[in-house]
Amino acid sequence: MDLKRLTADELVTELEAQLNRYDKYMQMGLSLDMTRGKPCPEQLKLSEPMLCDEILGDHTSESGTDCRNYGVLAGLPEARRFMGELLGVPGDNIICGGNSSLNMMYDTMCSFMLFGVSDDEEDRPWSESKERKFICPVPGYDRHFAITQLLGFKLIPVDIIPDGLDMDEVERIVKDDPSVKGIWSVPKYSNPTGYVYSDECIRRLARMECAAKDFRIFWDDAYTVHFINGEPAKQLSLFDECAKAGNPDRVIVFGSTSKITFPGAGISALAADKKTVDFLLSRIAKQTIGPDKLNQLRHVKFLKNVEGVVEHMKKHAVIMKPKFDAVEEVFENEFGSPLEGQLEWTKPEGGYFICCRTGDGMATEVLSMCKQCGVAFTPAGSTHPYKIDPTDSYVRIAPSYPDVPKIKSAVEIFCICVKIVLIKKLLEAKKEANNN
Amino acid sequence: MDLKRLTADELVTELEAQLNRYDKYMQMGLSLDMTRGKPCPEQLKLSEPMLCDEILGDHTSESGTDCRNYGVLAGLPEARRFMGELLGVPGDNIICGGNSSLNMMYDTMCSFMLFGVSDDEEDRPWSESKERKFICPVPGYDRHFAITQLLGFKLIPVDIIPDGLDMDEVERIVKDDPSVKGIWSVPKYSNPTGYVYSDECIRRLARMECAAKDFRIFWDDAYTVHFINGEPAKQLSLFDECAKAGNPDRVIVFGSTSKITFPGAGISALAADKKTVDFLLSRIAKQTIGPDKLNQLRHVKFLKNVEGVVEHMKKHAVIMKPKFDAVEEVFENEFGSPLEGQLEWTKPEGGYFICCRTGDGMATEVLSMCKQCGVAFTPAGSTHPYKIDPTDSYVRIAPSYPDVPKIKSAVEIFCICVKIVLIKKLLEAKKEANNN
């Protein structure tokens, strides 16, 4: 239903109907959490066999290293190879770490802040650059933005579009300003839109001219195998494209098994050109004696290789798809199809999120009404730098954790609130128009 | 045998005897590694029951948290309580982390570098202090020194003595120089001397007057329960003493289960006053979503509490004591008792190391001879800032990993090399004396 086509009387009737629905939900005393992209218990159960002690055998790696003891700074060779397969990069270019790729991003960023991007004399510590800036695709991932905000970067928003980034804008920003040190990206099933960067976008990122020689792309390939339909989307390798373009050190790829096995107890990895890997390892050598190799061994024994992962992810998809479908179904029931200025939403083929857009200036009020009704969504603004969405319209829906009936209730309540806020605005506008 | 009392002829005879022994060992083509404080396979076996899947139960913490999933930034409450018991600090003052306390030290140091020791306006980032300095007890732990060296601190050596630090010197250094930002310490069974800081030393550290308001003690309580005789040494709590002295934020305590369970797959913790814990957590909140809680759960279920740890450490002691005894036995056989300028050694009641002192200017040559004979020790100088021991006399012996016969061979070869180098020096000195 296109609410904008209704007359004032029709709007009043519709408002009353929606307020009635809202009141009914209010009386149910719900408590639904749609805030974070967190796997549900059924998903966690898929990886339980990984925790049996037999999987560790005699605790030795393929080269005979006792994984219980110290050492192996860059991670077990078989874990590096495994994470390399996942990220489309040779194992030698991989550093395999602990349970959090966010941690690897933060640490890499701190190294660049304290030491620069390499040991070359001209690569000064980023902290010495008083006016440092970082590009943040919007809508995007709040935890990325928070790291660069904490470290004193000015955050520059750039629109994300269905086939990737607004590359004209990115190229314009990086071309002449050496204080622009890098860009965040979630290239496949992006958080929160679910968009997949196109090959063209990836080529342009690899080739573009950057004023800062130490410009770096933090490429968070968090959802690379997290398809919900068919199989993982094919995507050009930015790592390869950067090498081809003569910019091999431009990209650092990050990934983890957090949403493949266990969010709290997975393994993580970064991939970069050899020079950057060696540089980072020289710092990591002072930071630790080595990662948890037993957990790396568990993962390799359980998942084996990228084919094993894809098979495993099909089981995740069986659980995830009905949840995405439930959101889509409610949206279709309530709005038919996406309508600009009323409610638009993305239809991802993977990842953990659906991104909605209400009319401008409505998201905060909508989510506040949802909260009063016992439904928590990621707060409005979270998808933007400094947690401020200038349009106040973007809402991230995270359907992974609740079960389908709860998702349907939550999204229905969300739709009701969107309608109520929208109708009130429309009525006010009509009133104002009449007064003039 | 006191070699210094021998005549020139006796020395020549003795040298020939020692060179014969050395040659015999040379022909054996040995390959012995005494370089690092690494538990041996028998020690690792003690914690194998921790890896069985039953120990994880239904994967939930005592408060019902699913340990497989995201969250719980400061670590599981029961893991914080457990590590608090171990470090003598309330659980609320603990941040429980991943598999490496070194990593927590490095991260804490980086936070202080980038943000200062608190969010207070006057606590400037340490990186802004151009002339920053850090006190390094010598002989001490190379990995500590390496962190502060990497981060651009000037390393100031202070002698460690049998009852702790040369506190007169420490107090003198910190009193007037605000660029002295802190001190490293391994307070119990210190690396490499095995010394235990006295209560008096601890009280003086807590109370001393520091020119730098942001002076911090990095208190690496790595061997707090690692006794080899009887039970753990009692030691005053620096955490408590700092609070009593009105300097609650002066100390950050670090510890781990690396040498209790598995060096590669233990859990770590830091302890500090509430203000520092909150400050560090506000940074860690940007760095990660949470530590590996499954591994924390394993540890708490397996070791239970400090009594459980002490019982467990008694089993370690049964394995470790004969190794320390073997070193002592060879030293006694070869030298009788410690002799200044020839060979001195410590007799630790715990920890992982024995510290030796050859005559001045001899350690490098002695260890180089050992290496040629197939025996690797921690390189000379490693116990000192910048890896330079100005006396070239300190040698760290790490007896934990090899078996007793190997330790005996390695230490015997070491003694032979000490004698050869010493006798050559004595003969040269006699020759020179004759020439004058």
- Taking an 8 Å cut-off on Cβ atoms, the answer to whether A292 and B264 are in contact is yes
Strand B343-345 relative to strand B354-358, pairing: antiparallel
Q: What is the mean pLDDT of chain B?
A: 97
Q: Torsions phi, psi of A405, nearest 5? A: -60, -40
Query: In chain B, what are the domains?
Result: 3-43+310-435 (3.90.1150.10), 57-305 (3.40.640.10)
User: Would you call B263 and A53 a contact, using CB atoms and an 8 Å cutoff?
Assistant: no
Partners of residue B70 in chain A, C-beta under 8 Å = 36, 38, 258, 263-264
- Taking an 8 Å cut-off on Cβ atoms, the answer to whether A288 and B56 are in contact is no
A296 vs chain B: nearest CA distance in angstroms? 10
Q: Which of B40, B47, B103 to mutate to test the interface with A (most CBs of A within 10 A)?
A: B103
Instruction: Give residue-wise pLDDT tens across range B77-123.
Output: 999 999 999 999 999 999 999 999 999 999 999 999 999 999 999 99
* A87 confidence band (pLDDT: 50, 70, 90): very high
pLDDT at B298: 98
How many angstroms away from the CA of A424 is the closest CA of chain B? 39
Of A69, A127, A292, the CB nearest to B292: A292
| pLDDT tens profile B28-47 | 999 999 998 999 999 999 99
Angle at Cα A244 formed by Cα A83 and Cα A105, nearest 5°?
40
Query: B interface mutation test: which of A95, A289, A400 has the most B CBs within 10 A?
Result: A289
Identify residue B373 by its one-letter amino acid code. C
Q: Is the pLDDT of residue B196 over 90?
A: yes
Nearest to B292 among A98, A113, A283 (CB): A98
Interchain proximity B41–A99, CB inside 8 Å: no
Closest CB to A41: pick one of B47, B66, B146: B66
Q: Provide mean pLDDT across the span A335-343.
A: 96
Candidates B59, B110, B147; nearest CB to A110: B110
Which residues in A lie closer than 8 A to residue B69 (C-beta atoms)?
38-39, 44, 262-264
- pLDDT value of position B324: 98
Q: What is the pLDDT of residue A436?
A: 79
B45: its two tokens: 């076996």
List B394's β-bridge partners, or say none: B357
Cβ partners under 8 Å of residue B298, min gap 6 = B50, B51, B55, B56
Task: State the DSSP code for A396.
Answer: E
Q: What angle do CA B159, B206, B82 make, to 5 degrees?
A: 100
Which one of B69, B119, B352 would you mutate to disrupt binding with A, by most A Cβ within 10 Å of its Cβ? B69
CA distance B330 to chain A (A): 28
Collapsing DSSP to helix, strand or coil, A313 comes out as: helix
User: Would you list the DSSP string of A110-163?
Assistant: HHHHHH-SSSSTT---GGG-TT-EEEEEES--HHHHHHHHHTTPEEEEEEEETT
B112: chain A residues, CB-CB within 8 Å:
none
Rounded-to-10 torsion of CA B134, B136, B142, B144 = -50
Closest CA to B398 of B422, B421, B375: B375
> Distance, in angstroms, between B125 CA and closest chain A CA?
11
Residue A433 distance to chain B (closest CA, Å): 47
Nearest to A295 among B38, B263, B265 (CB): B265
**Angstroms from A265 CA to nearest CA on chain B:** 5
**Token reading at A327:** 């959101």
Mutual orientation of helices A274-287 and B101-115 as an angle, nearest 10°? 100
**Per-residue burial over B179-209, b = 16 or more CB atoms within 10 Å of its CB, e = otherwise:** ebbbbbbbbbbbbbbbbbbbeebbbbbbebe
Q: What pLDDT, on a 0 to 100 scale, did the predictor assign at position B245?
A: 98
Indicate yes or no: CB of B38 within 8 angstroms of CB of A70.
Answer: yes
What is the Cα–Cα distance from B68 to A263, expressed in whole angstroms?
6
Chain A environment of B52 (Cβ under 8 Å): 53
* Residue A268 parent element (H or E): strand A268-271
Which chain A residues touch B53 with a CB distance below 8 Å? 51-53
A328 Cα to chain B: minimum distance (Å)? 26
Locus of tokens 């947690």: A387
Residue A262 in this model has a pLDDT that exceeds 80:
yes
Question: What is the reported pLDDT for B186?
Answer: 98
Mutate to test the interface with A, among B43, B99, B148 (most CBs of A within 10 A): B99
Q: Do B293 and A53 touch (CB under 8 A)?
A: no
| Residue of A119, A147, A287, A401 to mutate for B, most B C-beta atoms under 10 A | A287
Q: Give strand pairing partners of A354.
A: A397
pLDDT confidence of residue B436 = 79
SS (H, E, C) chain B: CCHHHCCHHHHHHHHHHHHHHHHHHHHCCCCEEECCCCCCHHHHHCCHHHHCHHHHCCCECCCCCECCCCCCCCCCHHHHHHHHHHHCCCHHHEEECCCCHHHHHHHHHHHHHHHCCCCCCCCCCHHHCCCCEEEEEECCCHHHHHHHHHCCCEEEEEEEECCEECHHHHHHHHHHCCCEEEEEECCCCCCCCCCCCCHHHHHHHHHCCCCCCCCEEEEECCCCCCECCCCCCCCCCHHHHHHHCCCCCCEEEEEECCCCCCCCCCCEEEECCHHHHHHHHHHHHHHCCCCCHHHHHHHHHHHCCHHHHHHHHHHHHHHHHHHHHHHHHHHHHHHCCCECCCEEECCCCECCCEEEEECCCCHHHHHHHHHHCCEEECCCCCCCHHHCCCCCCEEEECCCCCCHHHHHHHHHHHHHHHHHHHHHHHHHHHHHHHHC
How many A/B residue pairs have CB atoms within 8 Å?
Answer: 144
Instruction: Name the closest residue on chain A to residue B113, using Cα atoms.
Output: A114
8 A C-beta contact, residue A197 and residue A160: no
- Per DSSP bridges, beta strands A216-220 and A180-185 are parallel
Look up the pTM and report it: 0.97
Is residue A192 within 8 A of residue A118, CB to CB? The reply is: no
Which positions ≥6 away from B433 have C-beta within 8 Å?
Answer: none
> Shortest Cα distance from B151 to chain A (angstroms)?
8
Whether the bond into B192 is cis, omega within 30 of 0: yes
Mutation for testing the B interface, residue in A46, A53, A68 having most B CBs under 10 Å:
A68
pLDDT digits (tens, 9 = 90+) for A99-142: 999 999 999 999 999 999 999 999 999 999 999 999 999 999 99
| Percent over 90 (pLDDT), chain A | 98
> Distance from A406 to chain B by nearest Cα, in Å?
20
Nearest to B69 among A114, A264, A288 (CB): A264
> Chain A contacts of B292, Cβ < 8 Å?
98-99, 264-265, 292, 295
Q: Which residues pair with B197 in a beta bridge?
A: none
CB contact under 8 A, B38 and A69: yes
Nearest Cα to B1, choosing from B415, B326, B433? B415
Banded model confidence at residue B1, pLDDT cuts 50, 70, 90: confident
Q: Is pLDDT at B178 greater than 90 in this prediction?
A: yes
3-state secondary structure of A391: coil
Residues of A in contact with B102 (CB under 8 A): 287-289
Residue A253 half-sphere exposure, CB side, CA atoms within 13 Å?
A: 30
Pairing of strands B216-220, B251-256: parallel
Contacts of B23 (CB under 8 A, 6+ apart): none
- With a cut of 80, say whether residue A193 has pLDDT above it: yes
Q: Do A44 and B98 touch (CB under 8 A)?
A: no
Angle between helix A142-150 and A101-115 (nearest 10): 20
**C-alpha–C-alpha distance, residues B208 and A373, integer Å:** 57
Question: Among candidates A189, A83, A86, A192, which has minimal Cα distance to A145?
Answer: A192
Residue B332: CB atoms within 10 A of its CB come to 12
Contacts of B38 in chain A (CB under 8 A): 69-70
Q: State which residue of chain B sits closest to A52, comparing Cα positions.
A: B53
Q: In whole angstroms, give the CA distance from residue A408 to residue A399.
A: 10
Find chain B residues with C-beta within 8 A of A107's C-beta. 107, 287
Q: What is the pLDDT of residues B330-385, one digit of tens each?
A: 999 999 999 999 999 999 999 999 999 999 999 999 999 999 999 999 999 999 99
Contact A65, A341 (CB under 8 A): no
CB count within 10 Å of CB A320 equals 25
Nearest to A106 among B41, B146, B286 (CB): B286
Residue A219 DSSP SS3: strand
Question: Rounded to 5 degrees, what are φ and ψ at A352?
Answer: -125, 5
C-alpha A335/C-alpha B282 separation (Å) is 41
> Residue B106: its chain A contacts at CB < 8 A?
286-288
On whether the CB atoms of residues B267 and B296 are closer than 8 A, the answer is yes
Interface test with B, best of A50, A70, A107, A113 (most B CBs within 10 A): A70
Specify which residues A112 forms β-bridges with: none
Residues contacting A309, CB < 8 A, separation 6+ = A86, A225, A260, A303
What average pLDDT does this structure show over A192-201?
98
8 Å CB contact between B262 and A294: yes
Helix axes A101-115, B101-115, angle to 10 degrees: 50
What pLDDT is stored for residue A61 in this prediction?
Answer: 97
For residue A427, give how far its alpha carbon lies from the nearest alpha carbon of chain B (Å): 43
CA distances from B216 to B84, B108, B377 (A): 20, 11, 32
How far off is chain B from A248, nearest CA to CA, in Å? 26
Q: Do A262 and B294 touch (CB under 8 A)?
A: yes
Task: Say how far apart CA B348 and CA A32 lie, in whole Å.
Answer: 58
Q: What token pair was written down for A305?
A: 């290789």
Residue of A nearest to B127 (CA): A114
**Closest by Cα among B135, B116, B137 to B125:** B116
ipTM beyond cut 0.90: yes
Average pLDDT, chain A: 97
User: Is a pLDDT exceeding 90 seen at residue A1?
Assistant: no
Task: Specify the residue for token string 């016992």.
Answer: A374
